[in-house]
């Protein structure tokens, strides 16, 4: 369960290059996420939500600024903590690999279905790999700042397809950004989120 705070990056700001540049990290983590954290902290101050976890706020807040900013704090914490320096032929292993194969057929089929969800999401939002109440893996899309916990799912891996996530590095080429992102996923971190 997460407090309203900046996640500490487990890598250097240039570690994800060339997939995600230092400049993008400086804006996306340093400016966008900092702003969501600051805004959420000020919105819940002196309310009954002040001592709730970010996950609880996302699950229960009515549509509006608190929900939007809490969703983005949760989304970006999961996002920035799930990456590592680029690795070729970067694949999951163990229980996560088995669950992906069971749900989607193969890792290649999963990547194709996830990329399809990410590229067809209209406007700003996120694509997610989550675990449902039965433990099965599912791919879902969330508009704007929502998160799978809103629907009772356990989010494992999310890709930000707001333009601020990739425009400095890939401009309008969202599909190319998604294809490149597979090299930087820390599948051990993703697997650690399985329940």
Question: Of 74 and 96, which CB lies nearer to Mn ion in the complex structure?
Answer: 74
As measured in angstroms, the least distance from the Cβ of 166 to Mn ion is: 10
Euclidean distance between CA atoms 156 and 9, whole angstroms: 18
Q: Which residues, numbered 107-166, are part of the site for Mn ion (CB under 5 A)? A: 160, 162, 165
C-beta closer to Mn ion: residue 16 or 165: 165
In angstroms, the Cα distances linking 27 to 70, 91, 118, 165 are 19, 28, 22, 9
Query: Is 169 an interacting residue with respect to Mn ion (CB under 5 A)?
Result: no
Binding-site size, Mn ion (CB under 5 A): 3
Whole-number minimum distance, CB 147 to Mn ion, in Å? 12
Question: Which of 162/170 has CB closer to Mn ion?
Answer: 162
Give whichever of 114 and 166 is closer to Mn ion, judged by the CB atom.
166
Give dist(CA 4, CA 115) in Å, integer. Answer: 30
Is the Cβ–Cβ distance between 53 and 1 less than 8 Å? yes
Closer Cβ to Mn ion, 83 or 104, answer by number? 83
* Residues in 47-86 at the binding interface with Mn ion, rule: CB under 5 A: none
Minimum separation from the CB atom of position 79 to Mn ion (A): 7
User: What are the tokens at 123?
Assistant: 């406007």
**Which residue's entry shows tokens 């996420």?**
33
Q: Which of 68, 61, 63 is nearest to 36 (CA)?
A: 68
- Tokens of residue 22, six digits: 């230092």
What is the residue whose two structure tokens read 């989607």? Answer: 104
Helix, strand, coil percent values for the chain (each to nearest 5): 50, 10, 35
Q: At closest approach, how far in Å is the CB of 165 from Mn ion?
A: 5
Residue 101: CB minimum distance to Mn ion, A: 30
In angstroms, give the least distance from the CB of 91 to Mn ion: 26
> From CA 6, how far away is CA 36, in angstroms rounded?
10
Nearer to Mn ion, 79 or 104 (CB): 79
Q: Which residues sit at the interface with Mn ion, rule CB under 5 A?
A: 160, 162, 165
């Amino acid at each position: 369960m997460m407090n309203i705070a900046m996640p500490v990056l487990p890598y250097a700001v240039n570690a994800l290059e060339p997939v995600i540049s230092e400049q993008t990290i400086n804006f996306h983590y340093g400016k966008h996420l900092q702003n969501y954290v600051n805004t959420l902290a000020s919105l819940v101050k002196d309310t009954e939500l002040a001592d709730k976890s970010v996950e609880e706020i996302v699950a229960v807040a009515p549509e509006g600024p608190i929900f939007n900013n809490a969703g983005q704090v949760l989304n970006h914490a999961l996002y920035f903590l799930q990456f590592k320096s680029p690795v070729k032929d970067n694949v999951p292993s163990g229980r996560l690999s088995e669950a992906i194969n069971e749900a989607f057929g193969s890792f290649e089929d999963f990547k194709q279905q996830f990329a399809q969800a990410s590229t067809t999401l209209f406007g700003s939002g996120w694509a997610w790999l989550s675990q449902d109440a039965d433990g099965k893996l599912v791919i879902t899309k969330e508009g704007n700042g929502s998160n799978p916990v809103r629907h009772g799912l356990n989010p494992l891996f999310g890709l930000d397809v707001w333009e601020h996530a990739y425009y400095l590095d890939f401009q309008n080429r969202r599909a190319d950004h998604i294809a490149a992102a597979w090299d930087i996923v820390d599948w051990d971190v993703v697997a650690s989120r399985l329940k």
